[in-house]
Structure 1
């Protein structure tokens, strides 16, 4: 009986707990009444285009379900409020910040694109007193005045977006020197697309803990002074593109002397007795720490016991910076020496500047973590590599993407690119590369996934044919090396070196290679373009004429090939594509191709093109006979053959095999009708 009672008690407890769990899972917390009232008071100001039409306490009593509202699931209080794009019109108006006071738990507030010109300048109404707010978006408004006093009540703000306003000059923050703690949490500041000038940097120092600063497309110009950025020691990303900077000001090191501490103390003890008429007003250890700069002291360095102080060259020292964008400026400095202090930099964009002539890449030698380098659309003619480049490869071991499009580089540039041997993406489109593309220039890039060289003047590919040589047997090489010490007078056998010359048949005094019947046959195969990891190759807008594609056979992982807008003519031999079993995209548009030569045993080769999904053949000279050779591409999803010489009747049988086709474009041909083959029983 006792056992039954205990089992009953446990059953009741489990049942009660189950009911509570069910109730907890189905309970929906409604927003607080006073916050709902505050939201309804906001509605008339932000209901342009009836954007807030579902803010209706009758139809939807729970305001947590209203558009733009995010509530805490436990308390029902407002967590996020999105009122972006809710004001109809572009006439500026002033916001009453006190209307947001009820939302004391609010973490994010979005007010972008609402034509807000500022906050009402009233001591009680001008500040957003939201102690837990972390993200504030005021972008794409009409703020004209630079006072940020309304931010003073946002002690936990982490992200502020003021981009795309009309802010000018510098930022005005009252008592900024004493307010640093108020912005201690601010990590992200967006000020793009305003009218700030260089004086803005001084006022930005109150945001010293920033990790992300973007001040692109303003009126910053002339010289970028490195001192203006020294305070941002936590900065990870810095974006200053679209300004008018021309150069970088580097402050060279100087040697000064500082007086000894006990002498400074003695001078300060003298000051009260000799400070008539405030004569010694600059004797101030806070404002001027070095007492050799105080009035009446000897010229610095005259004291034999003075302390030597060396100030090193002030490079751009932002130890945590990972991303730097200086694109679309007017920079001309080709040395990059100012970057040497950015040891953690991973991404550098200097595209669309005025970099000209030869670029000295030694300035990048300390950027050992660099992954992305963008130098597009300058006037770079060459890259100066290291004299000891072979030992410097490790410095660029992490560089994965290099963009050099739109410069003046010629074929000699390939030699200096070998220091970037670990690249995954290389882009050299629209340069002055021309003539023959030598496969040897690309052999080192064994990790390359994407190669873009469109818009150049390449005509053909240089393939280095294989040769047959003979190598001596290993035991004979060992025997020769044992003989060397006895017959090496006058260093006669100095080239008997198995490291420098592994094949001993090339050593002095040995028989011509191949004379030994027991020699080992060594065959060097044809040097195709062997980039084993390459997935995307763009050779469009060149002058290629080779219709065989044989140079591509080593690209077994290629997924995308663009050969459009070249001089491919006549019949194209697609056997050259037989090893590209992973090919998904093939672009042969705007050539003068008349036909495609399919395999003799095409029926058994269908698997080789099983992954090809898109084939573009527009703007060629193909006629109706081309359909027969296209059957090897039976898994196509998109086929484009517009502007060819297709004419007469379009026979549906020619298309039956393309059962996966989603898009078919055969516009601008000369088809007259369609042939449908009726079924028979």
Structure 2
């Protein structure tokens, strides 16, 4: 039994040592194959071979040889390796790594052949004029390639045929011009899903059907600013890509009618179409119903002109979620069929000439809307926003420069929406703050400028604290409650997350509530062009994130709180044209960047950067002294004390001279000789000049 036990133990030990030996052999074999400190030796050497061609200052600084502590090329900048045990390079980001002073050059693509697992390669903005002859890029694993911002020509398209695994290709701004045929490229790149070919002078894009092109997997096509005029031919070519989901055609200059319903058969998968900044005929909105799956349509600034007649066209896109028709010249009332777009979440029709009372418009049916932008039109909009009270998903509302009006019976019920931002202006009558704001406690940005709002600046009013409002507020939003008071906005709910308030150009009076200083995340505050009075709250020093503070054109008085010097993020500051007095904040910290225009129109202000010196304004008799009777540093000395101290000092000096002359005979003799000499000189000076004077 004991011998058997000993044999078993020895067998187990031998097996353990055998596995250790096998592990050592595996590790040794790995090192022999080139695995060295995280990256392959041949790939590290290949990177060092590439470096001389990409020598822009301050880039690739740690691509060095001979540094033992830096021998792992997987740790080098702009290099990414796989996370598995092979440690192969999978991504090289060489964007803008060649100095422009070196001029154009031809890339030797064979330098990338050692990177057999390379998946992403960024070569954009390196002044590459092409590839060395017979040295095209070849890789069976490359999926992402960016060659934008170089100086290729059409030949580059055929040079890419070996990249059979390529899924994303970016060739923006590479000098393509004229008629460009993509047929051969798509025949080879069957896996291509994303093609961005913008900022070229492509007058005509050709994609010949057949030869397998129709089976292309292209999903996203970006053709921004390519100077294509013949939109009809372009859309016919795009039918070769049945799986297209996103098409960008911004900043082109299409002429004539682009499409008609009978010409479109192959766009059933298209989800997003962006044509902003292009010249488009309004008839496109009538024919676009063929894009049955469209969810996003952007036709911002497309020079659309006329009345929006879209029955049977745009109104048929029942899956549409985002629609942007802003900055065009569309007129008249919104068509009633707009109410069919019940999936809309974002609608921007600002900067047009739409008209009509919003209460009677089809927008009332769009209860899924989250962002609604109506600014700069001719709509009539009730200031209570009562027509949208049931739009529970509404988060952002903008209606600047429309015709706001106050209803005969002001709507006062709490709406179902909770806004993040609101921008309203255009109230021409006698207006007060909209009461629906009492119930908005998610607001981040408020712009209620140019509304002729009258009354006292929103502050506090007396009343018992109603606990029924507490559930409406989040704990972190409640900044301060005073006894028996409720704040004007959001019922005691002062938002610490608010980042912008604009109440400029109204007729508000009263003091500025110090509680605004609790809006610690605010970036912009504009209370200018009102009739506000009182002092600037020192609590504004809590606005540590503020970038723009404008209190100009009011009746504010008193001194500028010195605590404002702690606002280090300010870029815009103005207290001009008030009744402020005392010293400016000087040229300290961020305030050293502001000039005199920030303080103009306050005749009692002094100090830099104003030309008025405070020494000329502040009279000594007006300067305060402390309770101990000790003056401040710039007080004048008491003149009585000055005369007494001067007399005593003079007497001490004379007495000292007499004592010294009495004790020291040599100095005494020298002193008397000096006095005698001066007396003699004076005597002869007078004798010589006396006759001429007489």
Shorter-chain TM-score above 0.5: yes
- 1:324 paired with 2:297, answer yes
Partner in structure 2 of residue 351 of structure 1: 326
Partners of 1:598 and 1:52 lie apart in 2 by 52
Cα distance per residue 1:417-447 (max 9 Å; x no partner): 6685531100112334468899639964533
Say if 1:49 and 1:650 are closer, same or farther in 2 by CA, change over 3 A: closer
Partner in structure 2 of residue 296 of structure 1: none
Question: Equivalent of 1:87, from 91, 95, 98?
Answer: 98
- 1:591 paired with 2:529, answer yes
Say if 1:381 and 1:341 are closer, same or farther in 2 by CA, change over 3 A: closer
Cα distance per residue 1:471-497 (max 9 Å; x no partner): xxxxxxxxxxxxxxxxxxxxxxxxxxx
Question: Equivalent of 1:648, from 578, 582, 589?
Answer: 582
- 1:224 paired with 2:199, answer no
Partner in structure 1 of residue 273 of structure 2: 238
Q: Radius of gyration: which is bigger? A: 2
Q: How does 1:32-47 map to 2 (within 5 A)?
A: 32-47=40-55
Question: Equivalent of 2:223, from 188, 191, 211?
Answer: 191
Question: Equivalent of 2:355, from 381, 385, 388?
Answer: 381
Partner in structure 2 of residue 670 of structure 1: 606
Q: Mark the runs of 5 or more structure 1 residues left unpaired by the alignment.
A: 253-313, 465-525, 653-660
Q: Residue 560 of structure 2 contacts residue 584 of structure 2 at CA under 8 Å; is this kept in 1?
A: no
Deviation at residue 617 of structure 1 after TM alignment:
5.2
Q: How does 1:86-125 map to 2 (within 5 A)?
A: 86-89=97-100, 94-118=106-130, 124-125=134-135
Say if 1:341 and 1:33 are closer, same or farther in 2 by CA, change over 3 A: farther
Q: How does 1:28-427 map to 2 (within 5 A)?
A: 30-49=38-57, 51-59=59-67, 60-74=70-84, 75-89=86-100, 94-118=106-130, 124-126=134-136, 128-145=137-154, 148-168=157-177, 171-175=180-184, 176-178=208-210, 180=212, 184-197=216-229, 198=231, 199-225=233-259, 230-249=265-284, 315-319=289-293, 321-332=294-305, 334-337=308-311, 338-360=313-335, 362-363=337-338, 365-368=340-343, 370-382=344-356, 392=365, 396-411=366-381, 420=391, 422-427=393-398
Q: Residue 512 of structure 2 contacts residue 532 of structure 2 at CA under 8 Å; is this kept in 1?
A: no
Cα distance per residue 1:179-208 (max 9 Å; x no partner): 547984543333323333434444444544
Deviation at residue 105 of structure 1 after TM alignment:
1.9
Say if 1:327 and 1:49 are closer, same or farther in 2 by CA, change over 3 A: same
Deviation at residue 241 of structure 1 after TM alignment:
1.6
Partner in structure 2 of residue 546 of structure 1: 455
Say if 1:47 and 1:662 are closer, same or farther in 2 by CA, change over 3 A: closer
Partners of 1:155 and 1:193 lie apart in 2 by 28
Ranked by relative contact order (alpha carbons within 8 Å, sequence separation 6 or more), the top structure is: 1
Say if 1:355 and 1:163 are closer, same or farther in 2 by CA, change over 3 A: farther
Deviation at residue 597 of structure 1 after TM alignment:
8.5
Instruction: Point out the more displaced range, 616-625 or 101-110.
Output: 616-625
Say if 1:108 and 1:613 are closer, same or farther in 2 by CA, change over 3 A: closer
Partners of 2:57 and 2:215 lie apart in 1 by 36
Q: How does 1:4-23 map to 2 (within 5 A)?
A: none
- 1:451 paired with 2:422, answer yes
Q: Residue 381 of structure 2 contacts residue 402 of structure 2 at CA under 8 Å; is this kept in 1?
A: no
Instruction: Point out the more displaced range, 95-104 or 400-409.
Output: 95-104
**Secondary structure at the residue paired with 2:558?**
coil
Say if 1:45 and 1:231 are closer, same or farther in 2 by CA, change over 3 A: farther
Structure with more of its chain in helix, by fraction: 2
**Secondary structure at the residue paired with 1:622?**
strand
Partners of 1:119 and 1:154 lie apart in 2 by 15
Partners of 2:255 and 2:509 lie apart in 1 by 55
Partner in structure 2 of residue 507 of structure 1: none
Instruction: Point out the more displaced range, 558-567 or 661-670.
Output: 661-670
Instruction: Point out the more displaced range, 198-207 or 424-433.
Output: 198-207
Instruction: Point out the more displaced range, 342-351 or 146-155.
Output: 146-155
Q: Mark the runs of 5 or more structure 2 residues left unpaired by the alignment.
A: 29-34, 185-207, 461-486, 600-604, 608-613, 629-694
Say if 1:547 and 1:72 are closer, same or farther in 2 by CA, change over 3 A: same
Deviation at residue 400 of structure 1 after TM alignment:
0.6
Q: Residue 359 of structure 2 contacts residue 381 of structure 2 at CA under 8 Å; is this kept in 1?
A: no
TM-score, structure 1 normalization: 0.62
Partners of 1:417 and 1:156 lie apart in 2 by 51
TM-score, structure 2 normalization: 0.61
**Secondary structure at the residue paired with 2:280?**
strand
Cα distance per residue 1:299-340 (max 9 Å; x no partner): xxxxxxxxxxxxxxx723242x43332222122362444334
Say if 1:235 and 1:160 are closer, same or farther in 2 by CA, change over 3 A: farther
Count of residue correspondences = 526
Q: Residue 158 of structure 1 contacts residue 188 of structure 1 at CA under 8 Å; is this kept in 2?
A: no
